[in-house]
Every structure is written in structure tokens, then in C-alpha cells.
Amino acid sequence: MMKKLIYICILSGLLFSSCRSYSRLPLSLPPHISAEDSIRMANTKITISRQRTSYKGISRLKTYEFAHPDVPVAFDGFRMAFVSDLHYKSLFKEKGLDNLVKLLKEQHADVLLVGGDLHEGCEYVPSVIAALAAVKPPMGVYAVLGNNDYEACYDEIVREMRRCGVHLLEHKVDTLRRNGEEIQIAGVRNPFDLKKNGTAPTLALSPEDFVVLLTHTPDYAEDVPVTHADLVLAGHTHGGQVTLFGWYAPILPSHYGQRFRTGVRYNSMRTPMIITNGIGTSNRNVRLFAPSEAVMIILRRAEVPRPVSSFRPSLP
């Protein structure tokens, strides 16, 4: 009976790995959100597809099409690659790192975003940062750091990123420009130290901006207001790393239980978050029903419907 159950779960996983799903923000909004914001949030649409890869070290490529009214026309179709939690070298080793670079180059991303926890030893820092820089997307590589990176080798990481031209966003915002229009990429410095970093770098931005916020842990977007962020990208959870058939993770590094384990989630302000399973492993070099993944996010402009006028001209 147990073998049959395992076979069913494996077959179900294979079936759903190639499916597409659609997600819309819930319409029950906090009372202080304006009517205009409500319309914009209701018109946010996320389409998800999963594709198994032939590259050792990366089980799948997960692609999100993210449609939002604040995406400028010039950025419709803009391709953002997102990787996190390489933990190099763990289960993710030299061949996997080479394969990741090949996979990301094949995706023709316009920008590469990195979510932290790069290494499992200071001696690996130069190799992993040089590999990420070698992807050479036209609009650059932007990164935040994870708890592992702050606990060890921080100065070396900063030095290597400067040397390789990787932009480290520690409570900073950078502007990407295309055909006279722009989007904002913001990054959080050590999201576990809320005493120093409990004010999000998005607060100074405009509601009209399209803002992507990078943070290592998804908890940050619930712990503090991330006002003006249109999309949050996070890792840290590893998708649970070891799960019961992909449904439940017995051990999860989050204060919010299973709520922010993986995939598309929303904080209490209804800000959409994409949380990746990441690539490497920590504590134990094993993954079970939490496949390693690279993420592609394709931006789409969503048109806000104009209100229909009730005016009727009088007939002569």
C-alpha cells in the first residue's frame, strides 16, 4: 500500500510539473488601501509554468509571467532571472554551478537577481560570485545577502562583488531604464536584524513606480511595511528542503509556519511574493519533494479598465 502511495505521489508530481496555473490577488483588502490601489491589485495576474531541466544540480526552471498595471510599456516582456540559496558547495557543486550559468544564459534574461546564501565556505566565495557575474545579462547582476553571508566572509563577498561588477543592494534602490521608462530594484540589508533594518528601502519610492524588492527571507515582507513594493522576491526556506510529498515541511526556517514556504504567496498587505526553493542545501545534503530551481519572471503590462461613464446625451 505504501509503495502504491509513493508511486501515485511521484506520478502526480510529474503531471503537475508541466502544468500552468493562474493566480489573482484576493479582493478582500485592508480598509486603508485606496480604491485606485484596489483596482491595480485586482488586475495583477500571475501565470506559472514549470519545466524540468536536463542540467545536473538544477531540477527545474520555474517561469512566472507577472502582469501589473505599473509595469511601463517599455518593460512589457522584460525578463528577470532570479536565483537564491546556492549554498556552494553543498549538494550543489562545480558541475551544477557551470550548468546554472549555461541555463541562465540560455534564458536571455535582461537582468539577474540573486537572493543570498551564496556559500558554504569562504574559499568558495570567489568562484560562486565570478560564475554569477559570467551570466552577463545586459542590465547587470543585483544581489542581496543571506544569513550565511552575514555570518561568515562578509568582507570578502563585498570585495568580490565589487571586483566582478555585481551590484549589492543593502537597503539601496537602483533604477533600470529602457526606452525612456524605468523600474526600481530595491534590496534589503540583513532582514533578520529588524532593529537596524526595520524600515524598508521602498518607503521613499513613489506609488507610481514599479518596484521589485529583493529580500533573503519572505518573513521580512510580513514583519515590516514594504510600502510601494509591487513584487517581493525571496528565498531562504528552500521550499522546506525535505517535505511530505510537497505538501508539508516538518522543518521550515520561518516564523509563519507553512505560510511562506514556496511559490506565490501574499503578505497581509496583499503584496505578491515569489518565494523560490533555491538551488543548494543546508544542514543535510538532501532534497525530498522540494526540487532545486532557477526562476524566470517575465513582466507584462496589465491595463487598468477605465470606469464606464453613466452619462447619456439627451436626445433632441
Residues 168-190 pLDDT 10s: 999 999 999 999 999 999 999 99
Mean of the per-residue pLDDT values for the chain? Answer: 88
- Whether the per-residue pLDDT at 78 is higher than 80: the answer is yes
Question: Nearest Cα to 217, choosing from 181, 179, 253, 165?
Answer: 253
**Over 173-213, what HEC string results?**
EEEEEECCEEEEEEECCCCCCHHHHCCCCCCCCCCCCCEEE
Helices (H), 91-193: 94-106, 125-133, 147-151, 154-164
Span 187-204, pLDDT tens digits: 999 999 999 999 999 999
* Lowest pLDDT segment from 24-28, 112-116, 267-271: 24-28
Could you give the CA distance from residue 214 to residue 198 in angstroms, rounded to a whole number?
14
pLDDT given at position 88: 98
Q: How far apart are CA 252 and CA 216, in angstroms?
A: 14
pLDDT of res. 24 = 35
Q: What's the rounded Cα separation, in Å, for the pair 183 and 83?
A: 20
- DSSP state for residue 2 in the 8-state scheme: H
Cα–Cα distance for residue pair 82/77, rounded to 1 Å: 16
The single residue listed with the C-alpha cell 555585481 is 166
Question: pTM for this one?
Answer: 0.86
Residues with Cβ within 8 Å of 8's Cβ and at least 6 positions away in sequence, in order, are: none
pLDDT of residue 20: 33
d(CA 21, CA 263): 11
12: confidence class by pLDDT, cuts 50, 70, 90: very low
> What percent of the chain stands above pLDDT 90?
81
Would you state the pLDDT for residue 257?
96
pLDDT at 230: 97
Topology of domain 35-301, per CATH? Purple Acid Phosphatase; chain A, domain 2 (3.60.21)
Q: How many helices (H) and strands (E) does the chain have?
A: 8, 14
pLDDT at 283: 87
Give the pLDDT of residue 8. 36
Alpha-carbon distance values, 186 to 22, 170, 175, 226, 248 (Å):
26, 8, 9, 10, 31
Amino acid 194 reads L
Domain boundaries of the chain, sorted by first residue: 35-301
Confidence of residue 27 (pLDDT cuts 50, 70, 90): very low
Residue 14: pLDDT band (50, 70, 90) is very low
pLDDT band at 2 (very low <50, low <70, confident <90, very high): very low
Position 68, amino acid: H
pLDDT digits (tens, 9 = 90+) for 127-179: 999 999 999 999 999 999 999 999 999 999 999 999 999 999 999 999 999 99
